């Protein structure tokens, strides 16, 4: 379609020609000496088109909300306001709907906010920046603000999952993990799956999850969108494309503890995270101080790690180790850097054994900087696995009145940025492949 409109801007309007083709919308100012393209936007980047009457006039207006693509993968919420006679405005809106007939974008969300994430700005960011965008795009939502840790599951209590097209977690990585766990558990309850059994065969979640990054750790958003920005993440949610991602189920003492969506690092990195949590009062400085203290005071643990390889064979690593690390979103060495891979067909574990301190620091610094070769060290055993069990059989234990055994030493797992105390002599981690769809179109998996 083509038509003559007035581009409405502060202080008046300018005449312009608007053309909608199969793939783009172009707005060119008239009466300019050189062709003056004001806006050229892919139809797939249009978030919404609103039409309505103009005040004190017979004309109508059209507001085109679209995603502005800036450098560094930043997306911005842009608006083009046009005015014309009502028939032309309706024609413009209809031509957009015709050109994109498959616009089955999500329309209703359950939003769960952690008001304590990061610098405690999650609630404000959602209500001031994200909610207006959702509303402009015709999205309705119900908001639940948590009141304490592990409260995300309350948000699902009275929710019929078939009525929501997205669950949005406003917070950091630990909160994503908490929301994802609550959602997966809700889905399993509906299908009467015994989640305490690592072999239970989980039912995939059919409601996509979106993350608005507001925490101190926002790796998931960084991996998905290449940038940590709440508006970019919100625009990706509105656009509705999704990426399948894995979770890893963590079982301790025959009980499901959590589903990890990002990392599950036992030993050194877990102990560092526990130190960071004990010193929350120090703010973000703690993430600089305690990793250093942790590596300087690293301790070997006698352990047996048995793992199930992709070919169905079980193998065993036996001996002292510093850590057993898992990136649930795998990090692959590509083009001289580590790049995230969502929904990989296996989990890659990295077991760090005896090594000089300098080499260990070098290796961990490479992981922190996502540098190539971060896992190419001969003290690392790297294996692609479907499941693994860690047994700590030679550590001192004490027997409780109930007859259960507990470790005397305090050992931790860093589970998606939260410290989980491992007080039993073994734990079990299993791949749950493609269980969740995340809003965002990451190139490592075919977006849906």
**Stretch 161-190 residues interacting with ligand ATP (CB under 6 A):** 171-175, 178
Give me the least distance between CB of 279 and ligand ATP, in Å please.
Answer: 11
Interface pick for ligand ATP out of 216, 372, 381, 397 (rule CB under 6 A): 216
Do residues 437 and 342 lie in contact, with contact meaning Cβ atoms separated by under 8 Å?
A: no
Give me the least distance between CB of 347 and ligand ATP, in Å please.
Answer: 22
State the helix-helix crossing angle for 268-278 and 286-296, rounded to 10 degrees.
Answer: 140
Which range of residues in 62-70, 81-89, 212-220, 261-269 is near ligand ATP by CB under 6 A?
212-220
Between CA 356 and CA 371 the distance in angstroms is 20
CA dihedral 255, 257, 258, 260 (to 10 degrees): -100
283 binds ligand ATP (CB under 6 A): no
In a 10 Å sphere around its CB, with 0-12 CB exposed, 13-18 middle and 19+ buried, how is residue 211 labelled?
buried
Give me the least distance between CB of 256 and ligand ATP, in Å please.
Answer: 16
Give me the least distance between CB of 66 and ligand ATP, in Å please.
Answer: 30
For ligand ATP, which residue has the nearest CB? 172
Interface pick for ligand ATP out of 15, 21, 57, 150 (rule CB under 6 A): 150
Between CA 16 and CA 244 the distance in angstroms is 42
Give me the least distance between CB of 216 and ligand ATP, in Å please.
Answer: 4
Q: Which is nearer to ligand ATP, 190 or 282 (CB)?
A: 282
Phi, psi of 268 (to 5 degrees): -50, -55
Interface pick for ligand ATP out of 217, 240, 267, 291 (rule CB under 6 A): 217
Give me the least distance between CB of 152 and ligand ATP, in Å please.
Answer: 7
The 10 Å CB-count burial string (b at 16+, else e) for 221-247 is bbbbbbbbbbbbbbbbbbbbbbbbbbb
Give me the least distance between CB of 185 and ligand ATP, in Å please.
Answer: 15
Do residues 385 and 309 lie in contact, with contact meaning Cβ atoms separated by under 8 Å?
A: yes
Residue 69 to residues 39, 231, 268: CA-CA distances in angstroms?
12, 12, 40
In a 10 Å sphere around its CB, with 0-12 CB exposed, 13-18 middle and 19+ buried, how is residue 9 labelled?
exposed
**Stretch 107-126 residues interacting with ligand ATP (CB under 6 A):** 114-118
Supply the Cα-derived Rg of the chain in whole angstroms: 25
Give me the least distance between CB of 205 and ligand ATP, in Å please.
Answer: 19
**Stretch 414-443 residues interacting with ligand ATP (CB under 6 A):** 417-418
Q: Angle at the Cα of 270 (from 267 to 273), degrees rounded to 5? A: 150
Interface pick for ligand ATP out of 61, 146, 195, 249 (rule CB under 6 A): 146
Which range of residues in 45-53, 131-139, 146-154, 331-339 is near ligand ATP by CB under 6 A?
146-154
Q: Which is nearer to ligand ATP, 107 or 153 (CB)?
A: 153
Interface with ligand ATP (CB under 6 A): 114-118, 146-151, 171-175, 178, 215-217, 417-418
């Amino acid at each position: 379609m083509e038509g003559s409109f007035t581009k409405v801007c502060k202080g008046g309007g300018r005449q312009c020609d608007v053309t909608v083709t199969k793939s783009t919308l172009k707005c060119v100012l008239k009466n300019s000496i050189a062709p003056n393209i004001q806006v050229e936007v892919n139809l797939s980047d249009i978030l919404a088109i609103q039409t309505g009457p103009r005040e004190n006039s017979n004309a109508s207006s059209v507001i085109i909300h679209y995603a502005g693509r800036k450098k560094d993968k930043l997306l911005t919420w842009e608006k083009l306001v046009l005015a014309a006679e009502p028939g032309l405005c309706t024609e413009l809106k209809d031509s957009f709907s015709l050109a994109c007939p498959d616009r089955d974008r999500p329309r209703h969300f359950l939003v769960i906010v952690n008001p304590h994430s990061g610098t405690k700005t999650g609630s404000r960011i959602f209500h001031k920046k994200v909610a207006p965008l959702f509303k402009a795009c015709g999205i309705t939502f119900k908001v639940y603000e948590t009141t304490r840790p592990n409260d995300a599951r309350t948000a699902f209590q009275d929710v019929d999952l078939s009525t929501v097209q997205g669950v949005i977690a406003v917070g950091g990585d630990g909160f994503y993990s908490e929301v994802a766990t609550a959602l997966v558990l809700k889905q399993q309850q509906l299908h009467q799956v015994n989640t305490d059994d690592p072999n239970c065969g989980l039912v995939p979640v059919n409601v996509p999850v979106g993350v608005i990054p507001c925490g101190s750790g926002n790796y998931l958003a960084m991996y998905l969108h290449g940038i940590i920005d709440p508006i970019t993440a919100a625009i990706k949610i509105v656009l509705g494309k999704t990426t399948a991602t894995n979770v890893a189920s963590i079982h301790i003492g025959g009980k499901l503890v959590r589903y990890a969506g990002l990392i599950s690092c036992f030993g050194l990195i877990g102990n560092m995270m526990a130190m960071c949590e004990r010193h929350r009062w120090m703010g973000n400085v703690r993430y600089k101080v305690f990793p250093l203290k942790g590596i300087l005071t690293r301790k070997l643990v006698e352990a047996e790690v048995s793992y199930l390889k992709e070919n169905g064979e079980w193998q065993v690593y036996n001996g002292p180790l510093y850590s057993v690390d898992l990136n649930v979103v795998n990090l692959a060495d590509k083009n001289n850097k580590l790049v995230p891979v969502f929904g990989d067909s296996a989990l890659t574990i990295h077991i760090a054994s005896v090594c000089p301190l300098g080499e260990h620091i070098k290796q961990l610094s490479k992981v922190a900087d996502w540098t190539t070769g971060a896992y190419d060290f001969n003290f690392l055993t790297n294996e692609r696995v479907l499941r693994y069990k860690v047994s700590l059989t030679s550590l001192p234990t004490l027997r409780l009145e109930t007859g259960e055994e507990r470790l005397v030493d305090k050992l931790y797992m860093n589970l998606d940025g939260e410290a989980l105390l491992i007080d039993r002599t073994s734990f079990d981690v299993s791949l749950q492949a493609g269980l969740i769809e995340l809003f965002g179109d990451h190139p490592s998996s075919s977006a849906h």
